[in-house]
Amino acid sequence: MSETTNKWIGQNTIRPDGAPKVTGSAAFAADTNMPGMIWGSVLRSPHAHARIKSIDTSKAEAHPGVKAVVTAADIVDFPVDTPFPLGIQDMRWMCRNVMAREKALFHGHPVAAVAATSEAIAAEACKLIEVDYEVLPHAIEIDDALAPDAPILHDFIEFEGKPSNIAGTLEHTKGDIEAGFAEADVIIERDFTTRPVHQGYIEPHACLVSVAADGKATIWSSSQGQFMVRAMTGLLTGIPQSDIRAIPAEIGGGFGGKTIVYLEPLATILSKKSGRPVKMVMTREEVMRASGPTSGSKSTIKIGAKKDGTITAAEGIYWLQAGGLPGSPIRGAVGCALAPYDIPNGRTFGYDVVSNRSKVAAYRAPGAPIGAFGIECVLDEIAEELGMDPLDLRLKNAAKEGTQAVHGPTYPLMGYVESLEAAKAHDHYKAPLGPNQGRGVASGFWFNAGGESSAQVNITEDGNVVVTTGHPDIGGSRAGIANICAELLGIDYRRVSVLIGDTATIGFSNLTGGSRVLFASSIVVTESTNNVIGTLCALAAKIWDIDPEAVIWEDGEARPAGANAGQFPPLTLEELAARANESGGPIGAGAQINTTGAEGGFGTHICDVEVDPELGTVQVLRYTVLQDVGRAVHPSYVEGQMQGGAVQAIGWALNEEYIYNKNGHVDNPGFLDYRMPVASDMPMIDTHIIEIPNPKHPQGVRGVGEVPLVPGLAAVRNAIHDAVGVRFNDLPMSPPVVLDALDMAEAAE
Amino acid sequence: MAKLHISTTINGEPTEYLCAPDETMLDVLRNGLGLTGSKEGCGSGDCGACSITMDGRLVCACLVLAAEAEGSEIETIEGMADGEALHPLQQKFLEMAALQCGICTPGMLVAAKSLLEQNPNPTETEVRYWLAGNICRCTGYDKIIRAVMDTAADMRGAA
Amino acid sequence: MTDTQYMAPQTLDEAVTAFAAGGEAARILAGGTDLLVQMGAGMVNPGVIVDVKKITELNSIEETADGGFVVGAAVAGAVLEEHPTFGKVWPGVLEGLNLIGSTQIQGRASLGGNLCNGSPAADGVPAMVAAGAVLTVQGPNGRRDIPVKDVPTGPGKTSLAPGEIAVCFTFPPRPAGSSDAYLRMIPRTEMDIAVVGVGVNLTMKDGVCTDASVGLGAVAPTVLLVEDAAKALIGSKLDAAALDAAAAACSAACNPIDDKRGTIAYRTKVAGVLLKRTAAIAAKRAAGV
């Protein structure tokens, strides 16, 4: 399909869920209520690391207004010696994350939960629970967790034969890096650190669960996957999945942080025990202390290049914090770091390090921003060393169709080179800069994903369309789906209603994440819609008494394929819908597919900053995101992903960080001191959409959502270097850090 | 302590409720009155998702005691549209994709409406600083700012 | 169960009686932007909340015949901004108050609340200290005046006696050629607690500074009146040497802590940087008045 012939694909249509969202009537998880509802509250560990010797809930249970209490004894155990994968998670860790079992592993780790007739009573009752802790020394930072005398979090984790806080490793290699470095004319090796950051969704985790007397549970929750909610809740409570109906509420941001459960299993057990619906909503403080942020990291990057800019070898060693339980996103770090480049010799290695902070959860291209940061910084330095434009250095080594990436795959047609060329040609790249101003560039990659998706497309009796899909909508995917379905049927998009089903009303659909929702759901919606069109054509053929092969579908009507087929006036969708009973049944079709063909996404960013040399503050003046999205089905929402990810990257680069006190408690668990960008901090974020259609997708779609976070950290850092001549290898580049470095640089002169 | 009986006006309608002395306006709106359009993002006045106006003044409902609303005029997101007719800001937000997940949107709209009532011709900087107390994590603010400025221009043109 | 009480008295006498009777667990409610945050965080559980927004004296703004101002302690920043003349005469005081938080916060936060909360980083205070503002309080033992600079005594603490309520601020009349300014350093552009805050109040005549006063916030347990900085400015043409000396005096006066908002070294350096910038703004304004 080309742009010029599309009516809806590529149009900025109004999203189907828009009116409720702008009028305040859209139901997010905390907005739902039920008669008889009671409130749940969580008791959390006051210690960063402690053995739990005993828990006495009797006083809480006796407290007036308390209807149920939950402890780890109520949660199904997954023994540590038996891996139990569920997607990218492992239930051994999930069951210990929703509630501490043997140990409290971080300050804020749930230890018990109470349901009572008011939030206040539930919170009071929590205080009556007596927990006997044996407080243990804690380690938060990677270095502390790796020190020879570090407290070992888990005696079942060993590395190289010894108890360790290294829970796993992952490596990619290509060629022979030693030989590659030997060929290099210039080699640069640098160490980098990044602090842990939070996804920062404005909506705290929330759920409402009602378990009926027969044990059947209905869950309304804010999540990035109702099937994940059902599966995890089922596994953790022992309730069969067929007895759980998980309904996705509208979700107020996730960015990966809502791809696991925290409250649903607790609320389910509380509801079961009490016989009442139980609502649980996290406070912002609980979100910041106890939900999964992303890893802090250390890395060592070494890149060698010839004088002409050809990279001969590149190596990245990464250490990522997992939090209290294994599972940091080393896969994203080591897989994506070198992905934009055609390098003959490469190696990436990642260590998964546990420490006493909340278990990390996915954050938009998990691991990839960390992986790319050091690489993109060192490339900048190599470009300077060689006297090359940093975009030219990347162009010289850019991966293309046919390149075999260090992390394994051979790339199909994709638009990385186009993003670099567009950056070079963009007005932004030529705009003049003033004093204390600088410009930086960086590139990035994310795998993207396909995975399971289900959809139903049903024609209403009055000739309109209801599409049910299976993925929570976090970015406007319903709008894109409406565009596609309308395009295929040749009708006005306003006649297509797109809804998100729950686990009882739609087939299995994998998480909303991995930049896969539009990619995957459009495949099943396309399949379903095409099947519906087949049914419509067959019905028309029956009415006209001709061969179904002789009927075509165009602009919302069935038509004879040609003069030979017969002179029949077209039959519209409305007319056919009214005669559905003549076809033998309702007009509708569904599809459930494990979609494939998702190809990685590539982007390049240009960032201009101005540094106040006396205060160390950094102002982002101008920012451009250039990215190959395959096909922008709904351009505004594609732009929105590019802009949102870029601003998250700016926050990560400049001011966001977890601050811990000496007791291992988060010192800034709120939006006051966890400093995310506010409107006055940002310029407009320009976007340049590149469309190199993905040949494996019916509309050419590539996932777009995650790539925009990946290049931003280095783009900002490289811009600051250009402005003031200082290379920052540690994030965030907050004002005291910047000023200190400027002062030291001045002193050194 | 017995509950307080408060008489106020919400979105133009006389409204009465009972509240505990230490209950916030946000709690009462959401849990007492079923007006869940105002959201709780932080409970500490740092995110703006609970923005309402009180006697024409833009405030965070999480930082107002429900008891203080006695005799006041409260306006929430639910009062912004006139039946089916969306306020120009609401319509523009939809047209310009100035929302993604939508959780910050009610507060953002209430705040933007308050701005345009005070200053019908704001510069981009004025819009950004006025809305600095409304955190959005999804959009990066670009389309929100454009939507507010476009609406301001439309409303000036129509005036 | 809560046993907090709420009351909104119409007169100051009623407020004083109720507040005093409530003892240690009583709290005054003006804008609520500190009190409700503290209640929500479990830091304070008031026995009685005395809402002072119905009391005329605490909520009015009066320009006195001699050109001074009396500003009710509970007047919200947004309301003070709408006054036709206050912001022209005391732009620094006004901008300090209206830098607190967000538009939503400024719709409620007051000079009285900001001062009495006792944060060393309070944005509303440095310019008031530099202005020589005086706080009138009323308590069980009657009324008295306290210079604003003598109100903060430590983080979260003030020199108000038990039962005393902040009533109003008196800003003195000033000679022609006077103005003030407030600047703070924060990591973002809005929404942060000041890492350093500087208020400078000046009088200029024929290019010479004839009077000056400097208030410095967020760098010590209380907001400071930096007399040495003022001395360095007075009599000068605000040339580089004078500004350097005043900046150095501010840095020397710093007694900050390392915390999640800034380090000792950073605050000390920035205090000097901000002094120069703030003085320049105040001088420019003074020249235009």
B73, B100: one domain = no
Q: Which residues of chain B does A639 touch, with a Cβ-Cβ cutoff of 8 Å?
A: 97, 143
Kindly indicate the confidence band of residue C3, based on its pLDDT and cuts at 50, 70 and 90: confident
C22, C165: one domain = yes
Six token digits for residue A25: 């009537």
- Residue C1 pLDDT: 45
Q: Per the CB < 8 Å rule, is A24 touching B144? A: no
C80, C36: one domain = yes
- Residue A3 pLDDT: 47
Q: Per the CB < 8 Å rule, is C40 touching B60? A: no
Strand A186-194 with A206-211, pairing: unpaired
Q: Which residues of chain A does C190 touch, with a Cβ-Cβ cutoff of 8 Å?
A: 678, 680-681
Residue C24 lies in a domain: yes
Kindly indicate the confidence band of residue C288, based on its pLDDT and cuts at 50, 70 and 90: confident
The more confidently predicted of residues A475 and A370 is A370
Residues C147-197 have pLDDT tens digits of: 999 999 999 999 999 999 999 999 999 999 999 999 999 999 999 999 999
Residue-range definition of the domain harbouring residue A635: 297-448+599-748
A622, A722: one domain = yes
Residue C204 lies in a domain: yes
Long-range contacts of the stretch B18-21 (C-beta < 8 A, 24+): B19/B66, B19/B67, B20/C2, B20/C4, B21/B65, B21/B67, B21/C2, B21/C4, B21/C5, B21/C6, B21/C49
- Residue A404 pLDDT: 97
Residues A506-527 have pLDDT tens digits of: 999 999 888 889 999 999 999 9
Out of B25, B57, B79, a domain closes at: B79
> Which of A443-452, A474-483, B95-104, C142-151 is predicted least confidently?
A474-483
Residues A251-288 have pLDDT tens digits of: 999 999 999 999 999 999 999 999 999 999 999 999 99
Q: Per the CB < 8 Å rule, is B97 touching A283? A: no
C61, C202: one domain = no
Token look-up 């580049």 returns: A733
Out of A595, A610, A636, a domain closes at: A595
Kindly indicate the confidence band of residue A17, based on its pLDDT and cuts at 50, 70 and 90: confident
Q: Does residue A21 register a pLDDT over 90?
A: yes
What are the residues facing A50 on neighbouring strands?
A104, A135
Separation between Cα atoms, residue A595 and residue A130, nearest integer Å: 50
Kindly report the backbone phi and psi dihedral angles of residue A654, in degrees, each rounded to the nearest multiple of 5, phi listed first: -105, -45
How much is the mean pLDDT over chain C? 96
Q: Which among B45, B70, B129 has CB closest to C104?
A: B45
Kindly report the backbone phi and psi dihedral angles of residue A158, in degrees, each rounded to the nearest multiple of 5, phi listed first: -130, 150
Provide the CATH number for the domain around residue B152: 1.10.150.120
Separation between Cα atoms, residue A50 and residue A324, nearest integer Å: 12
A351, A496: one domain = no
Residue A477 lies in a domain: yes
Q: Per the CB < 8 Å rule, is A671 touching B41? A: yes
Q: Does residue A1 register a pLDDT over 80?
A: no
Can you tell me the mean pLDDT for A158-163? 95
Provide the CATH number for the domain around residue A651: 3.30.365.10
Best of A41, A655, A672 to disrupt the C interface (most C CBs within 10 Å) is A672
Q: Does residue A427 register a pLDDT over 70?
A: yes
Q: Does residue A2 register a pLDDT over 50?
A: no
Separation between Cα atoms, residue A551 and residue A559, nearest integer Å: 6
Residue C92 lies in a domain: yes
Residue A266 lies in a domain: yes
- Residue C289 pLDDT: 64
Q: Per the CB < 8 Å rule, is A284 touching B103? A: no
A587, A499: one domain = yes
A236 Cβ contact partners less than 8 Å away, ≥ 6 residues apart: A75, A76, A91, A94, A95, A98, A261, A265
- Residue B37 pLDDT: 98
Q: Does residue A476 register a pLDDT over 90?
A: no
Q: Is C1 on the interface with A (CB under 8 A)?
A: yes
Provide the CATH number for the domain around residue C217: 3.30.390.50
C56, C163: one domain = yes
- Nearest CA distance, A20 vs chain B (angstrom): 9
A458, A444: one domain = no
Strand A217-221 with A244-248, pairing: parallel
Can you tell me the mean pLDDT for C60-83? 97
Q: Which residues of chain A does B41 touch, with a Cβ-Cβ cutoff of 8 Å?
A: 202-204, 252, 284, 671
C166, C226: one domain = no
- Residue C2 pLDDT: 61
C153, C38: one domain = yes
- Nearest CA distance, A473 vs chain B (angstrom): 8
How much is the mean pLDDT over chain A? 96
Residues A186-229 have pLDDT tens digits of: 999 999 999 999 999 999 999 999 999 999 999 999 899 999 99
Q: What is the DSSP letter of B44?
A: S
Residue-range definition of the domain harbouring residue B110: 88-158
Token look-up 């060929």 returns: A183
Q: Is B69 on the interface with C (CB under 8 A)?
A: no
What are the residues facing A607 on neighbouring strands?
A440, A623
**What angle, 0 to 180 degrees and rounded to 10, lies between the N-to-C axes of helices B88-95 and B105-118?**
130
Q: Does residue A4 register a pLDDT over 60?
A: no
Q: Which residues of chain A does C41 touch, with a Cβ-Cβ cutoff of 8 Å?
A: 285
Q: Touching B: which chains, 3+ CB pairs < 8 A?
A: A, C
Q: Are C200 and C184 in contact (CB under 8 A)?
A: no
pLDDT, averaged in runs of 10, over chain B (159 residues): 92 97 97 97 98 98 98 98 96 97 98 98 98 98 98 92
Out of B47, B62, B79, a domain closes at: B79
Secondary structure element (H or E) that encloses residue B58, with its range: strand B57-60
As for the ipTM of the complex, it is 0.97
- Residue B159 pLDDT: 73
Separation between Cα atoms, residue B120 and residue C7, nearest integer Å: 38
Residue-range definition of the domain harbouring residue C110: 5-119+134-171
Q: Are A405 and A399 in contact (CB under 8 A)?
A: yes
Q: Which residues of chain B does A30 touch, with a Cβ-Cβ cutoff of 8 Å?
A: 30, 36, 39-40
Out of B57, B79, B101, a domain closes at: B79
Q: Are A465 and A459 in contact (CB under 8 A)?
A: yes
- Nearest CA distance, A283 vs chain B (angstrom): 7
B54, B94: one domain = no
The answer, as to whether pTM is greater than 0.90, is yes
- Residue C51 pLDDT: 98
Strand ranges of the sheet holding A618-628, from the earlier edge strand across to the other edge: A437-446, A601-611, A618-628, A685-690
- Positive/negative CA dihedral, C59, C64, C67, C70: negative
Q: Per the CB < 8 Å rule, is B111 touching C2? A: no
